[in-house]
Amino acid sequence: MPAVRSMLARVQRLEQATVSPWLNLLGPLDKFEAAVRDGIVEGRYDPLDMPLVVVCVRRWEREWP
């Protein structure tokens, strides 16, 4: 039973977050976007897929509750 209460407390904290916990891992999104652009230029990232990833992450940030 204590494990269930602990999990419910964690879920409640996540639901109250003003910024997605995943976005906190990426750091500032401008820096993330610059790193993606550099990766595309260097050939590490796909030039068709990664711009869409950046758009999705920006939308995720904008629409997070």
Give the pLDDT mean for 9-38. Answer: 78
Q: Give the DSSP H or E segment for 40.
A: helix 29-42
| Percent with pLDDT over 90 in the chain | 37
User: For residue range 27-46, what is the model confidence (pLDDT) as tens digits?
Assistant: 788 888 999 999 999 999 99
In a domain, 55, yes or no: yes
**Structure token digits, residue 55:** 């758009």
Could you list the residue range(s) of the whole structural domain that residue 29 is in? 18-63
The set of residues, in sequence order, having a beta carbon less than 8 Å from that of 32 and lying 6+ positions away, is 26, 54, 57
In a domain, 40, yes or no: yes
Give the pLDDT mean for 8-24. Answer: 72
In a domain, 4, yes or no: no
Could you give the CA distance from residue 32 to residue 35 in angstroms, rounded to a whole number? 5
In a domain, 3, yes or no: no
In a domain, 6, yes or no: no
Could you give the CA distance from residue 55 to residue 5 in angstroms, rounded to a whole number? 37
